[in-house]
Amino acid sequence: MTAAPTEISAYGDHVLAVEPTGAEPVPDDARHGRPLSLLWTWTSPNMEFATVFIGVLAVGIFGLGFWQAVLAIVLGTGLGAVAHAFLGLSGPRFGVPQMVAGRSAFGYWGNALPAGLNALTAGIGWFAVNSVSAAYALNTLLGWPVLLCLFIVVILQVAIAFYGHNFIHSAEKYTFPVLTVVFLVAAAVILSKSHIGTATGSKAFPGAFLLTAGAAFGYAAGWTPYGSDYTRYLPRTAPKWAVALWPGLGVLVSCVFLEIVGAASATVLIPAKVAANLSLTAAFTYSLPGWLANLTLLAIAVGGIAANALNIYSGSLSFIAMGIKLPAAVRRATVSLVFGVAGTLVAWGGLSDSATKYTDFLLVITYWIGPWLAVVFTDRYLRRNESDAQLAALLSDPSHRNWAAPIAMAAGTGLGVWLFSNQTEYVGLIAKHVPGIGDIAFAAGFVIAGLLYLALRLVPGLGPVGAGAVPSAEPEPEPAGA
């Protein structure tokens, strides 16, 4: 299902054309765009209720004080945004999606582990979460059946993802100013009617701070496996600082802003009898005047669609990056449609008890992304002396193997969950006896996976072999007279 170079070149910067590119490198003559466009590409998808709800969770459910919640949100989001900024640099260098760039660390076939997990997380998990929040927003706004609203949302977001890269960038560009203005006005009203002084944190349960930081990190870091998916069409000459700055800033500012607004909204006084009959989105807009509440509900729906366009697109790319051979007639756009159908079925089943399911989902994401990031960052450091040409050769070489990476990632994930998970359905061994640590499975998994990778890559048969061998930390001296 690889597109011919001429086909990709002809695609160029056309917006109303279905992207022919799969997971293969984008040739230089098809490169276009500028890094600044990444600001709205990574701001618009976060201007939605799934972002707001992290702040609601922190104060309304975890019981944190407002300022405690703000600190946890900034900490978790900041870590995720920095990781996201760094990973996008692979795009202009190699012209491939993020999960293909990961083959340099995981090997050609070992990379199927993170690529497969991201395909499920993005194309089905996040798809379901955002579809549910957008559907409820439309339901509250229009009064139509929730299921009908869900189908409307799904059709729009799958259509955007079907067209691909250029159409997605354009869609995010034009939704950016609308969503920003609406949420800024709504935020001003909500903050003016909130009672942030009443949220003191005295009712917070042990570990609430770290749970909030973990959830905020999970949301921001959930974008990291998509990093270079939206930078790979940029010219190789694009300034590195700009390629890193704009997506990192887009994620950081949008997430912190709306999560803080969500925390403030949890302190707005709503009569108990009224609150019992309100959906989550209706409760968020309760304090707004009618016209602004309607605009905000519409913005929540549009923001959910903007987010899911990225989720479906990147999920399909991750599936292709697993290396599975598909018929030539099956293109990236077709895979997007399949993920759309699967995600719709999951969303349909998640229309009830969405709050608990969302909390658990955010934490589950961190369980594998933390160890994955540890392996990727460690391998990037070890390969810092390799040229772009050497690294690019690994990405399409089926003989490149490095089993130390998937083993370290799997062990980091498993041990992190077993010891430190604090889920609704499962509490880890250490978290059970020391509940004050909250859920730090992602942090523990990051450390465990990084250290294991450093050790396992030295084991014969597990470390990099052949073309994928990791060079020594320092370049070898050249022979005399060379």
| pLDDT tens digit sequence for 173-191 | 999 999 999 999 999 999 9
C-alpha to C-alpha distance for 1 and 21, rounded to whole angstroms: 9
- The per-residue pLDDT of the chain, averaged, comes to 88
**C-alpha distances out from residue 461 to 124, 403, 411, 453, 466, Å:** 35, 8, 18, 13, 11
Q: Which residue has the higher pLDDT, 116 or 326?
A: 116
Specify the number of domains making up the chain: 1
Tokens matching residue 81: 């945004």
For 27-53, the pLDDT digits (tens) are 999 999 999 999 999 999 999 988 999
For 403-448, the pLDDT digits (tens) are 999 999 999 999 999 999 987 778 889 988 888 887 888 899 999 9
Closest by alpha carbon to 220, among 121, 125, 80?
A: 80
Mean per-residue pLDDT for 307-319? 92
- For residue 224, being part of any structural domain is answered with yes
Residue 478 has pLDDT above 50, yes or no: no
Percent of the chain scoring above 90 in pLDDT? 61
- For residue 360, being part of any structural domain is answered with no
Q: Which residue has the higher pLDDT, 376 or 325?
A: 376
* SS3 state at 479: coil
- Residue 476 pLDDT: 45
> CA torsion sign, 331 to 337 to 342 to 346?
positive
| Burial class, 425, CB count within 10 angstroms (exposed 0-12 / middle 13-18 / buried 19+) | exposed
- For residue 450, being part of any structural domain is answered with no
C-alpha to C-alpha distance for 321 and 102, rounded to whole angstroms: 9
C-alpha to C-alpha distance for 255 and 261, rounded to whole angstroms: 10
- For residue 123, being part of any structural domain is answered with yes
For 62-90, the pLDDT digits (tens) are 999 999 999 999 999 999 999 999 999 99
- For residue 31, being part of any structural domain is answered with yes
C-alpha to C-alpha distance for 165 and 27, rounded to whole angstroms: 15
Q: Output the pTM of the full model.
A: 0.90
Q: Which residue has the higher pLDDT, 61 or 232?
A: 232
Looking at the DSSP bridge assignments, the partners of residue 422 are 427
Q: Which domain holds residue 143?
A: 5-352
- For residue 469, being part of any structural domain is answered with no
- Quick count: other Cβ atoms within 10 Å of Cβ 121? 23
Residue 271 has pLDDT above 80, yes or no: yes
What CATH number has the domain bearing residue 132? 1.10.4160.10
The one-letter code for the residue type at 336 is: S
C-alpha to C-alpha distance for 165 and 184, rounded to whole angstroms: 28
C-alpha to C-alpha distance for 373 and 375, rounded to whole angstroms: 5
Residue 279 has pLDDT above 80, yes or no: no
- For residue 125, being part of any structural domain is answered with yes
Tokens matching residue 229: 């998916």
C-alpha to C-alpha distance for 446 and 425, rounded to whole angstroms: 22
Residue 353 has pLDDT above 70, yes or no: no
CB 439 within 8 A of CB 363: yes
- Residue 188 pLDDT: 97
**C-alpha distances out from residue 399 to 109, 396, 448, 467, Å:** 9, 9, 27, 8
| Residue 422 backbone dihedrals phi, psi, to 5 degrees | -135, 65
- For residue 456, being part of any structural domain is answered with no
In which region does residue 145 sit, left (phi positive, over 0), alpha (psi from -120 to 50) or beta (all else)? beta
- Residue 355 pLDDT: 58
Residue 246 has pLDDT above 90, yes or no: yes
